[in-house]
Amino acid sequence: MASIADYYAGKNVLITGATGFMGKVLVEKLLRSCPEVQTLYLLVRPKAGQSMQERVSDMMKCKLFDRVREDNPDFHQKIVPISSELTQPALAISPEDVERLTSCVNIIFHCAATIRFDEPLKHALQLNVIATQQLLNLAQQMHHLQAFIHISTAYANCNRRHIDEIIYPPPVEPKKLIDSLEWMEDSIVRDITPRLIGERPNTYTYTKALAECVVQKESSKLSIGIIRPSIVGASWQEPFPGWIDNFNGPSGVFIAAGKGILRTMRANNDAVADLIPVDVVINLTLAAGWYTAVHRPKAALVYNCTTGGINPFHWGEIEHHVMSSFKRNPLEQAFRRPNANITSNYLMNQYWILVSHKFPALIYDLYLRLSGQKPQMMRIFNRLHKAIGLLEYFSSQDWEWNSENMNMLMSHLSPEDRKTFNFDVRQLNWPEYIENYCIGTKKYVLNEDMSDIPAARQHLRKLRNIRYTFNTLLLVFIWRVFIARSQMARNIWYFVVSLCFKFLSYFRASSTLTN
Ligand SMILES: CCCCC/C=C\C/C=C\CCCCCCCC(=O)SCCNC(=O)CCNC(=O)[C@H](O)C(C)(C)COP(=O)(O)OP(=O)(O)OC[C@H]1O[C@@H](n2cnc3c(N)ncnc32)[C@H](O)[C@@H]1OP(=O)(O)O
Ligand SMILES: NC(=O)C1=CN([C@@H]2O[C@H](COP(=O)(O)OP(=O)(O)OC[C@H]3O[C@@H](n4cnc5c(N)ncnc54)[C@H](OP(=O)(O)O)[C@@H]3O)[C@@H](O)[C@H]2O)C=CC1
């Protein structure tokens, strides 16, 4: 049987969401490990004043593509951007482009989605469900399509504790929901959203569940694979360890903790932190594309792409390794020394928010005001609290995912493919991975230079001294106020002071005698 790279040789691949975190890694890996691939058609929209061509050529200049660039400096010739706005009718693809795509595309990877947890339901539905349906419609017109791979999420069914590799009945018939929301005003949709999403925490997981049903409906006409990654983190090995380019999921939390801003968060120390490196997800995705095209399974195969059941690691361990990593490799200009703690106790968390977040923010804003600058710390903390409030659902409980299809797929790979498209997470060394992840946030998200680490360490020492001085002054102040008001406190104070004097004179006397 053809190896994965052999299979992709000469194939035309269509990718949505190629400018996103996972899409970029998919494009890079395809170009690097399947160098004979024919063309990658990327559905891209113009954004922030940049045309789609500008966006794609900027993307290819990114460090992520360094290894591909080394192997093949002309790799950009394999990339063809296609203008598309997925929220528009027929995905706003021109008739000429539709013609071109339908005549040659062999495989589709559908990565595009809105992954925001606070997305209004109508918009999340438009992008995650309706656009998926439109892409499936386009796929059915393709003459040479061999596989349609849809990227879902392991949390699409997070209302269940145990999640099998099956598509569960939808919370509502997608078509009915789409029809009913069409005529409703946004304010009404906003009001009924909590009732609609029910036990799910947000519109993201809800619409991703609906998208799976939409995809399943077409599985008699297309060969389909559904990938369900859990919490996608920085790369483990490829193209280099620690690559990450965004604040999503745990990355923003790690950065906020490394900067000394985040000191407390609600999470269960003993719950499994189901992080999965982005390169693992992409290797599995490419292998699933190959398997779907070659074996043409009768029903859509679902791949739960998770680590918890295979090589578990817990939030408490993550906290420990993140903190020690940022102490060894500090971020620049930290607000305070990195020292975040997670707790599952609501009241305890509220107490630490007050003492370790709000109080220092107030003091710092006061300092900024007094020095004629604009206060900003309270605003930063309010945004941070909103973000972690949305993530806590995922860090406070754990789930059990069955990953038989991932094992089945691995058993079908040749030894060579198992190395090139490695998704065997049993080999993952968590402490090493977390260290590289934290360094990756410093280098690639914050664009900080590793040569500045000695200065960053010096800054942390300065912060420690400020804290000691502040704590001492605070203690003296509190005590002074206290003894000014209470006779008992004064008596204790005089007693302690006289005891100290007695000890001092005893030591002085005994040292004079021995001399
Ligand atoms: C040290 C102790 C560690 C212990 C760890 C404990 C817990 C781990 C925490 C979380 C794990 C759970 C993760 C669950 C993931 C589920 C898996 C999935 O299926 S999918 C993908 C996950 N999706 C997300 O993560 C999206 C979440 N984000 C949002 O919904 C929104 O961004 C938002 C948080 C609601 C914020 O919206 P807002 O409009 O206020 O801001 P913007 O998004 O427009 O961003 C503005 C600006 O801020 C930057 N940003 C965004 N998020 C963060 C963040 N968390 N921290 C810091 N900065 C952040 C963003 O890049 C923008 O920057 P710029 O203006 O420069 O572009
Ligand atoms: N990140 C994670 O932790 C996880 C992600 N997933 C799934 O993986 C997939 C990829 O996620 P990720 O890469 O992290 O997400 P990103 O937010 O990084 O990327 C989203 C992609 O979708 C594109 N897109 C969004 N809206 C439109 C639109 N209207 N028209 C055209 N393109 C659009 C974006 O393009 P543009 O650059 O133009 O905005 C971008 O390329 C998603 O399906 C997500 O549900 C699953 C589990 C976990």
Does any ligand 2 atom lie closer than 6 A to the CB of residue 12? no
Say how far apart CA 220 and CA 326 lie, in whole Å.
50
Instruction: Please write the tens of the pLDDT for every residue from 409-467.
Output: 999 999 999 999 999 999 999 999 999 999 999 999 999 999 999 999 999 999 999 98
Among 114, 102, 128, 129, which residue's Cα sits nearest to residue 41? 102
What integer pLDDT is reported at residue 491 of this predicted model? 85
Q: Where are the alpha helices (DSSP H) in 93-202?
A: 95-104, 121-124, 131-140, 174-183, 186-197
Q: Alpha-carbon torsion 259, 60, 40, 85, what sign?
A: positive
Distance CA(292)–CA(219), nearest Å, equals 12
First to last CA, the chain: 91
The predicted complex's ipTM stands at 0.92
Q: Which amino acid is at 121?
A: L
User: Is CATH 3.40.50.720 correct for 4-243+272-312+398-417?
Assistant: yes
How many Å lie between the centroid of ligand 1 and the Cα of residue 292? Answer: 33
CA atoms within 13 A on the CB side of 501: 6
Given a cut of 70, is residue 143 above it in pLDDT?
yes
Lowest mean pLDDT among 55-59, 249-253, 495-499: 495-499
The pLDDT confidence band at residue 508, using thresholds 50, 70 and 90, is confident
Q: CA nearest 284: which of 156, 468, 410?
A: 410
The strand order across the sheet containing 12-16 reads 79-83, 39-44, 12-16, 107-110, 147-151, 224-229, 301-305
Mutate to test the pocket of ligand 2, among 87, 232, 246, 394 (most ligand atoms within 8 A of CB): 232
* Rounded Cα gap, residues 501 and 515, in angstroms: 21
Cα–chain center distance at 136: 27
Nearest CA to ligand 1 atom 7: 395
Query: Which pTM value belongs to this model?
Result: 0.92
Query: What does the DSSP 8-state code read for residue 37?
Result: B
CA of 113 to the centre of ligand 2 (A): 4
Query: Of all protein residues, whose CA lies closest to atom 2 belonging to ligand 1?
Result: 319
Residue from 114, 157, 248, 325 to probe ligand 1 pocket by mutation (most atoms less than 8 Å from CB): 248
Taking the C-alpha atoms of residue 22 and residue 230, their distance in angstroms, rounded to an integer, is 13
Residue 291 amino acid letter: Y
The residue whose CA has the least distance to atom 19 of ligand 2 is 20
Does residue 513 carry a pLDDT above 70? no
pLDDT at 218: 95
Substitution site in 15, 21, 82, 276 for ligand 2 pocket (most atoms within 8 Å of beta carbon): 21
Q: Is the CB of 233 under 6 A from ligand 2?
A: no
At residue 255, the pLDDT reads 98
Name 59's Cβ contacts closer than 8 Å, sequence gap at least 6. 18, 19, 24, 27, 65
Note the pLDDT tens digit of each residue in 305-363: 999 999 999 999 999 999 999 999 999 999 999 999 999 999 999 999 999 999 999 99
Kindly provide the residue ranges of all beta strands, DSSP E only, lying in 69-182, ordered along the sequence: 79-83, 107-110, 147-151, 162-163
The pLDDT of residue 515 is 59
**pLDDT of the residue at 88:** 96
Is 54 in contact with 79 (CB distance < 8 Å)? Answer: no
Ligand 2 in contact with 127 (CB < 6 A)? yes
C-beta of residue 288 within 8 angstroms of C-beta of residue 409: yes
Token pair listed for 227:
């990938």
Burial class (CB in 10 A: 0-12, 13-18, 19+), 64: buried
